[in-house]
Every structure is written in C-alpha cells, then in structure tokens.
C-alpha cells in the first residue's frame, strides 16, 4: 500500500486539532445525568441477582443446601459451584498480567474452599431485591472453618496454613518437594553484584512494608445479562475491556464467543480493577437458568471484600554508591501478596524497581505469595508503585548521605536513550532526564519552606503497552464522520480519538463522533489498560482515517478521470498532485462524501492492528508537606507533577491523569490500607474507614507536560495514565523524612506512625 502524503500527521508539522482542549463527545451527557453507567440499565422482566459470600477467611465447603431458597416464591434461579465446570491450569494474558482459568472459575465461585471473607459461594436471581436477600439467608452452607493467614511474610512460614495443597513454588531449581503458599520465585540480574558493592563507598540497606490498597473507583461493579432460549446472550457491563469480558465468560460458561454480545456501559472509574470478571459470569448463568434478564450490582462493602485491591508487600532494598555519586550496585528482594490466588504484580514490580537508573550491577528477586485475602487486581502501573517507592526512598537517603541535591543525584544516574534496563531492552528516546531538568527549574523546587515542612522528590517509570485494537471510520453522506472503537472510554479517550481522526482527515473535530462499539460491531480490541488506549487505539484510528483518505482520493481521481496516484490529500481536500497531474479545484471531504453513491458506494476506513512500540513514560514529582508535631498528621502543602506524555493529544485530560494519579498516591502514602482483625475479617470495608483523599485533603496539583515524542506513534503519543501513581509515595516519604529528620519505611504513613517515629527520633537524641 502506498503511503499517501498527509499534511499534519508528522509529529513536527503544525497540528490543528491534536494538542487542543475542546469539549469531549460524551461530556454533555455526563454533566446532565444522562450518561448510562453499569447500574443504569434495565430490561422488561428483569430479575435482581445477589451473591452469598463466605463469612470466613478460610473454610472447606462441605456442602451447600439450596432447597429451601429454591422453594421460596419469587426465586427464579440459583447457581453454586455445581453450575461451573472445573478448568485446567492454563495461563493466558490479560492486561499486564497473566490469568489462570482454574483460578478465575474458583474466584468467581468458591469450589473446594472459601479462601477469603467475601468469596462468593452462591448466587440467586429473584423477582425483587428483598426476595433475593431472603433467599440468600435460606441457603445453608456447611463450612469446616480452617486456620487462616493474611500477611505474606507469615504465609511464607513453613508452618503457615496452606491455601492450595497442590501449590509447588515455580521458578526454583530443583523444585521444592513440599507445597507452600509461595506460588513463584523470579530473578532478574545483570553484572556482578559482589564486585559492584565492593566498589561502593557507601551502602544503604532498608526494609519496607506496604499494605494492600484498593483502586477505589466510585462506581461499584454492575451488569445486566440476558440469555434467550437459544443460548444467545447480551451483557451490559461496566468494564475496561468488554472483549476480555467476552473471552472470560465464553470460557467459563463454555459458550461460543459469537453467542455473547457484550456492551460496555459508561464506566465510573476502574484504574485496572475493572479488567477482570466477578458478577458477569454469575449474571449470565442465572439468566441462562431463569431465561429472564438478570441485573447484578455490588454494594460498596462487596467491592472492598471481594474485588481486587493491589498487593501489600515486604521489601528489602540495598544500593551502593561511590563518593562521586555514581551508583555501583543495587539489589532488591520483593515479596508481594497475591491474595487468594497467585498472580500478584511482582513481575512488573521487579522489572520497574531500578528502571529509572543506569546501574551496571543489579539483582531483583521477587516472590508471589498467596494468602486469605481477595485476589489482587491491576491497579495503575501494577506492581511498580510498590517497588519504586522502596527504591526511591533509598535513593533519597543516599543523596542525603552524599550531601547531593536529590535531583542532581538522579541526573547523575538517570536512564537515558541507550540505557539497557535490568529487564532486558535498551531504552529509545525517553524523558526521565527532561522531567528532572524541568523539576530543577520549576519555581516549586526553589520556593522557601515554612517551619515543620519538608520537600520530597521522586521519579517513576512505567512501560506502557500496545496490543490489539481496531477502528472503523465511516464517512457519512453529509461529510460527518462516525468513528467506532473498542476500548471503553474511562477518562476522555473518545475526545482524543476524535482529535486524532480530525487531524488526519483535515476536518473540524466537531464533525467527528466517536463511539465505543460492542463486541459484535468491531473486531477484537484489547482492554483499556496499560495506558494503551490513546496509543494503540489512536494508531488504529489514524490508520483507519488514512484508509478512508485513500478511498476519498480514489473517488476524486475517478471524478477527474486521472490516475489515483495523481491525487493528494491536504487540509481535508483531495487535490491534483501538481500542475502536471491536472488542474481541478480541490474537492472537500463533504463533497466527495455526497457523491460517494455515484462513485463506487459508501466510504469507510478500517484498521485492525497489533500496536508495537509503546513508549515508556517517566515522571518526577515534587511535594511539600507539613507535619503536625502534636498529632503526626501530614498536610500536603504543594504538589507538582512533571511527566513525559510523548505528545499530549488533549492536554486537559493528560493533566487530569497526572493530578488523579498524584491524589491516589497521596491516599496510598498517608491513609489507605486494608485492616484485618485476628479473625481474618476486613475491618474497614467502607469509605468511612477506608479513607480516600477528599477535596479538603489536597492542594491544587500543578502539572508540567514534557513532550519527548514516541517515534512509533504517528503523533508521538506515549501512554500517560499509569506513571502518575508511581512517584507519590516515595516523594511524600522523602518530604516527611526531611521535615521530621527521621525516615518511615512503612505505608501508610498515618498520624500514629509518624508520631511514633518522631518520638523515637527524639528519644534517640534527634
């Protein structure tokens, strides 16, 4: 295929739409209450579905008696483990993680054992919510309560209760002979660690601990399923990837994919947490049994109890430096909690830990450990914020030890184009140094600090991914454009796609409408996650627009009776390639669209791609805190996020990603944690006790968008959604340590812990 010369698609050319801050296509419906989210759909004859959940952290399920519940008038269907076939152990990719259907089916519905408080054991569909609730109370589950283990360090002990008696640690040679709760050991290394540490003038080694934190999306999981007598299903659900939902449901329910149409509703936040299935297979199974539509919506308590937070962790980090500030060696050990089933993000945690730095000798060892908690799910840059928090704290301490400015210290060791990352690849053009330079020169960095205040800095890295995306772009008869894509819009991506389509076509963005197509209306598209939507679906969108332009040019050639390659596309018009080609007045997209019927039929462009070359995104955050000496309360006084976006397609929404990530990081750093009782039950399954930052907890969050174009993307785009949550925890920890003169190595840094650290410091003569 000839590449058609297009005005306005090279990163350097003047851009008319990409980089502007226009309104988003779905905005109006979202400020008027019209937009329909997961819980906003209904169908005639709809039943209400509810889930019975295990009250125990760990229990063998000896039997389930549904007879009384089934006899209750108004109950139309009940499903238990008996309604789901067992699945072989098989790893397949889902988002940035691998999933195992043996585990997914067990997480959706407990089988041999209930493995955490809130683990589903049965589901009911009834004509009303109150009947469904009553039915749940009539189901008798015979539990044999077993000893439980919550914390990963305890779960690793030889005498710990075993969750899965068949689990043999992978990645250890020779394989252990006894089962344990350690699912996997992994190691990444380069150079000669011993020699590296021998060259060091200073070595700092610290242990860190973090707690599981929840993505905290405001919209609870919700879906509506309708299965007819022929087994054809429709499923409306709030998800980051309706194609992935289809894949999982088809697999779990043994249905053909063509029989399931999944419609992605508007989504009220996900941050990685809506990349898995919970209610969807249950609703389909209940609907298929009752032959009635079934709607299921989780309560907030269910969201906390049963859906994935990210891992809590125990970590050791050791870094050696020379007096001149060069890092000579680095080592880390990371233990991540996976929850009830294996698959914590410890892999990406290992790969990201030292990624911002050029280190010759390094080793990271990771352990994936199961315990009696809900299975973790992806949360924004899964795994990276945890390990990079620990590393960035040690980096800061080393800078203090050397008497170097923390930004200068990072600049001395920072990764640049050509640096080989510990996990393998050599970086292309990357923006770490640019974000550090911007931090150094930002007025925030040199502003004076008040009493009891401290300033912290940290950098962060995330890979970003590409992957499979489709786009269909229809040129309507009146010259307007309908763009169909398959990545749910979680934060304004429809606007970005419209901007990229308008830029490529050379028309006003007001004439482009972007829709999220259902699974029957467009080809397989991987989920919105890994910061891939604007990158990968953006590439598909540009390709689809180019395909449409090729047709538009061909139609003009036909009208002008000249050859196709004598026509170029410029500024929304077909033009003869030059004086030699012919002299016709340019024809606009709208004119060509109006004549489409007579020149060969409808005009559309399609693209089905597997996008490669996602550019990593680096960021650097600066934060000022003030610590209350009486209470240990930490106040965020000022916050600046600096990050490489490659190219910001819609700067308003890029800034929004930066600010939102920073705010989530503030919660992770200061307040948020899962609190368990000795009984293995979650004690804070609600927004009152699981305290996410509110408006009055935060200042304005300043942003600087750095643009180091990603060469693989037509406009230079890098994903931006995940990196912003990587630096905050360390930046805040570093700021606190500079404010109080001693360092906390545990998250969250809640007031009692800060107070204790200050008191201990004082007792030690600090």
Binder to other proteins among 35, 146, 162, 582 (CB under 8 A)?
35
Reduced to 3 DSSP states, what percent helix, strand and coil does the chain have, rounded to the nearest 5? Answer: 30, 25, 45
- Give the x/- contact pattern for other proteins in 559-598, rule: CB under 8 A: ----------------------------------------
27 lies in the binding site for ligand FES (CB under 6 A): no
Q: How many residues bind other proteins, per CB under 8 A? A: 58
Residue 158, CA distances (Å) to 155, 161, 193, 495 in order:
8, 9, 29, 54
341 contacts 103 by C-beta, under 8 angstroms:
yes
CB nearer ligand FES, residue 208 or residue 217 = 217
State in angstroms the smallest separation of the CB of 389 from ligand FES: 24
State in angstroms the smallest separation of the CB of 279 from other proteins: 15
Residues 300-339 that bind other proteins (CB under 8 A): 300
The listed partner (ligand FES, other proteins, none) that binds 388, CB under 5 to 8 Å by sort, is: none
Residues 6 or more apart in contact with residue 264 via CB below 8 angstroms = 237, 238, 239, 242, 488, 516, 518
The listed partner (other proteins, ligand FES, none) that binds 32, CB under 5 to 8 Å by sort, is: other proteins
Q: Which residue is listed with tokens 């489709």? A: 470
694 lies in the binding site for ligand FES (CB under 6 A): no
* Longest Cα–Cα distance in the chain: 91
Nearest CA among 403, 347, 470, 438 for reference residue 643: 438
CB nearer ligand FES, residue 137 or residue 299 = 299
Count CB neighbours of 461 within 10 A: 28
The listed partner (other proteins, ligand FES, none) that binds 158, CB under 5 to 8 Å by sort, is: none
State in angstroms the smallest separation of the CB of 104 from other proteins: 25
Q: Which residue is listed with tokens 């990645």? A: 171
Q: Which residue is listed with tokens 């936040």? A: 269
CB nearer other proteins, residue 122 or residue 495 = 495
Residue 680, CA distances (Å) to 9, 103, 151, 371, 677 in order:
56, 21, 10, 10, 5
CB nearer ligand FES, residue 269 or residue 429 = 269
- The C-alpha atoms of residue 619 and residue 231 are separated, in whole angstroms, by 49
Residues 6 or more apart in contact with residue 165 via CB below 8 angstroms = 179
CB nearer ligand FES, residue 105 or residue 222 = 222
The listed partner (other proteins, ligand FES, none) that binds 760, CB under 5 to 8 Å by sort, is: none
Residues 210-229 that bind other proteins (CB under 8 A): 215-220
CB nearer ligand FES, residue 195 or residue 218 = 218
- Give the x/- contact pattern for ligand FES in 192-231, rule: CB under 6 A: --------------------------x-------------
CB nearer other proteins, residue 39 or residue 79 = 39
Residues 6 or more apart in contact with residue 66 via CB below 8 angstroms = 78, 80, 122, 139
Residues 366-385 that bind ligand FES (CB under 6 A): none
State in angstroms the smallest separation of the CB of 338 from ligand FES: 27
The listed partner (ligand FES, other proteins, none) that binds 11, CB under 5 to 8 Å by sort, is: none
Residue 211, CA distances (Å) to 150, 465, 744 in order:
11, 26, 14
- The C-alpha atoms of residue 228 and residue 226 are separated, in whole angstroms, by 7
CB nearer ligand FES, residue 218 or residue 675 = 218
74 lies in the binding site for ligand FES (CB under 6 A): no
- Give the x/- contact pattern for other proteins in 122-141, rule: CB under 8 A: --------x-----------
State both tokens at 95.
């988002």
- The C-alpha atoms of residue 676 and residue 150 are separated, in whole angstroms, by 8
- Give the x/- contact pattern for other proteins in 56-95, rule: CB under 8 A: ----------------------------------------
CB nearer other proteins, residue 253 or residue 377 = 377
Give the 3-state secondary structure of residue 745.
Answer: coil
C-alpha dihedral sign at 381, 384, 389, 391: negative
State in angstroms the smallest separation of the CB of 547 from ligand FES: 34
Buried b (16+ CB within 10 A) or exposed e, 181-211: bbbbbbebebbebeebbeebeeebeeebbbb
13 lies in the binding site for ligand FES (CB under 6 A): no
CB nearer other proteins, residue 308 or residue 660 = 660
State in angstroms the smallest separation of the CB of 71 from ligand FES: 34
- In a 10 Å sphere around its CB, with 0-12 CB exposed, 13-18 middle and 19+ buried, how is residue 275 labelled? buried
State in angstroms the smallest separation of the CB of 269 from ligand FES: 5
CB nearer other proteins, residue 678 or residue 688 = 688
- Give the x/- contact pattern for other proteins in 164-203, rule: CB under 8 A: ----------------------------------------
103 contacts 183 by C-beta, under 8 angstroms:
no
Nearest CA among 533, 543, 384 for reference residue 466: 533
CB nearer other proteins, residue 10 or residue 218 = 218
- The C-alpha atoms of residue 514 and residue 540 are separated, in whole angstroms, by 13
Phi, psi of 541 (to 5 degrees): -60, -45
State the helix-helix crossing angle for 728-740 and 384-402, rounded to 10 degrees. 30
Nearest CA among 753, 614, 734 for reference residue 665: 734
CB nearer other proteins, residue 526 or residue 690 = 690
269 lies in the binding site for ligand FES (CB under 6 A): yes
Residues 6 or more apart in contact with residue 361 via CB below 8 angstroms = 190, 191, 192, 193, 195, 196, 197, 328, 329, 330
Residue 112, CA distances (Å) to 62, 329, 340, 699, 717 in order:
8, 46, 13, 49, 47
CB nearer other proteins, residue 299 or residue 612 = 299
C-alpha dihedral sign at 67, 73, 77, 80: negative
State both tokens at 637.
């006084």
State in angstroms the smallest separation of the CB of 700 from other proteins: 5
State in angstroms the smallest separation of the CB of 36 from other proteins: 7
Residues 248-307 that bind other proteins (CB under 8 A): 266-271, 297, 299-300
Length of the chain: 766
Residues 640-699 that bind other proteins (CB under 8 A): 650, 652-653, 655-657, 659-664, 686-688, 692, 694-698
- The C-alpha atoms of residue 163 and residue 111 are separated, in whole angstroms, by 13
26 lies in the binding site for other proteins (CB under 8 A): yes
Q: How many residues bind ligand FES, per CB under 6 A? A: 2
State both tokens at 60.
């063998």
The listed partner (other proteins, ligand FES, none) that binds 695, CB under 5 to 8 Å by sort, is: other proteins
27 lies in the binding site for other proteins (CB under 8 A): yes
22 lies in the binding site for ligand FES (CB under 6 A): no
The listed partner (other proteins, ligand FES, none) that binds 147, CB under 5 to 8 Å by sort, is: none
700 lies in the binding site for other proteins (CB under 8 A): yes
Which chain residues interact with ligand FES by CB under 6 A? 218, 269
Which chain residues interact with other proteins by CB under 8 A? 21, 23-24, 26-28, 30-37, 39-40, 130, 215-220, 266-271, 297, 299-300, 490-492, 650, 652-653, 655-657, 659-664, 686-688, 692, 694-698, 700-701
């Amino acid at each position: 295929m000839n590449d058609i010369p297009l005005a306005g698609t090279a990163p350097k050319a003047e851009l008319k739409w990409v980089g502007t801050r226009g309104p988003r296509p779905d905005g109006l419906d979202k400020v008027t209450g019209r937009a329909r989210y997961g819980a906003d759909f209904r169908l005639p004859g709809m039943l209400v579905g509810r889930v019975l959940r295990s009250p125990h952290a760990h229990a063998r399920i000896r039997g389930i008696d549904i007879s009384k519940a089934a006899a209750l008038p108004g109950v139309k269907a009940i499903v238990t483990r008996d309604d789901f076939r067992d699945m072989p152990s098989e790893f397949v990719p889902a988002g940035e993680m691998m999933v195992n259907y043996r585990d997914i089916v067990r997480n959706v519905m407990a089988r041999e054992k209930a493995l955490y408080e809130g683990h589903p054991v049965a589901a009911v569909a009834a004509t009303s919510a109150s009947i469904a609730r009553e039915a749940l109370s009539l189901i008798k589950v015979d539990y044999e309560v077993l000893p439980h283990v919550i914390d990963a360090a305890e779960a690793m002990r030889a005498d710990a209760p075993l969750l899965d008696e068949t689990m043999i640690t992978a990645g250890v040679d020779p394989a252990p002979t006894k089962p344990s709760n350690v699912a996997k050991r992994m190691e990444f290394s380069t150079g000669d660690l011993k020699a590296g540490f021998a060259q060091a003038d200073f070595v700092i080694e610290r242990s860190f601990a973090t707690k599981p934190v929840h993505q905290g999306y405001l919209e609870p999981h919700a879906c509506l399923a309708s299965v007819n007598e022929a087994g054809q299903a429709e499923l409306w659900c709030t998800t980051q990837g309706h194609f992935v939902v289809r894949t999982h449901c088809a697999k779990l329910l043994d249905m053909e994919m063509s029989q399931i149409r999944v419609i992605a509703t508007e989504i009220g936040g996900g941050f990685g947490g809506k990349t898995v299935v919970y209610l969807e297979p249950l609703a389909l199974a209940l609907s298929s049994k009752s032959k009635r539509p079934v709607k299921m919506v989780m309560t907030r308590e269910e969201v906390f109890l049963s859906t994935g937070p990210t891992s809590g962790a125990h970590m050791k980090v050791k870094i050696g430096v020379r007096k001149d500030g060069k890092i000579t060696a680095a080592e880390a050990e990371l233990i991540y909690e996976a929850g009830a089933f294996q698959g914590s993000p410890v892999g990406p945690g290992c790969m990201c830990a030292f990624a911002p730095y050029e280190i010759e000798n390094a080793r990271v060892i990771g352990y994936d450990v199961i315990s009696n908690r809900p299975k973790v799910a992806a949360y924004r840059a899964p795994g990276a914020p945890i390990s990079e928090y620990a590393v960035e704290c040690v980096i800061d301490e080393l800078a203090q030890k050397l008497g170097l400015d923390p930004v200068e210290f990072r600049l001395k060791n920072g990764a640049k184009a050509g640096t080989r990352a510990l996990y393998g690849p050599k970086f292309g053009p990357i923006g770490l140094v640019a974000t550090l330079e911007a931090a150094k020169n930002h007025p925030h960095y040199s502003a004076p600090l008040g009493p009891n205040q401290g300033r912290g800095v940290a950098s962060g890295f995330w890979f970003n991914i590409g992957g499979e995306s489709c786009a269909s772009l229809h040129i309507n008869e009146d010259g307007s454009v309908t763009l169909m894509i398959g990545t749910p819009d979680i934060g304004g991506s429809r606007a970005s796609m419209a901007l990229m389509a308008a830029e490529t076509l050379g028309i006003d963005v007001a004439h482009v409408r972007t829709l999220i197509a259902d699974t029957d209306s467009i080809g397989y598209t991987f989920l919105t996650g890994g910061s891939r939507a604007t990158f990968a679906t953006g590439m598909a969108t540009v390709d689809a627009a180019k395909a449409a332009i090729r047709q538009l040019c061909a139609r003009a050639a036909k009208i002008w009776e000249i050859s196709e390659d004598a026509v170029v596309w410029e500024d929304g018009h077909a033009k003869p390639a030059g004086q030699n080609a012919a002299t016709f007045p340019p024809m606009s997209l709208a004119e060509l669209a109006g004549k489409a019927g007579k020149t060969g039929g409808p005009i559309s462009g399609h693209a089905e791609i597997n996008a490669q070359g996602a550019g990593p995104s680096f960021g650097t955050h600066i934060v000022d805190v003030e610590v209350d000496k009486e209470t240990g309360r930490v106040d965020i006084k000022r916050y600046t996020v600096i990050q490489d976006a490659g190219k910001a397609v819609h700067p308003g929404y890029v800034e929004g990603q930066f600010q939102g990530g920073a705010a989530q990081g503030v919660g992770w750093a200061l307040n948020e944690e899962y609190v368990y009782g000795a009984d293995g039950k979650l004690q804070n399954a609600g927004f009152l006790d699981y305290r996410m930052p509110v408006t009055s907890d935060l200042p304005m969050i300043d942003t600087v968008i750095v643009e180091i174009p990603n060469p693989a993307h037509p406009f230079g785009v890098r994903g931006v959604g995940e990196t912003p949550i990587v630096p905050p925890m360390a930046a805040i920890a570093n700021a606190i340590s500079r404010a109080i003169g001693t360092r906390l190595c545990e998250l969250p840094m809640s007031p009692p812990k800060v107070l204790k650290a200050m008191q201990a410091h004082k007792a030690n003569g600090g």
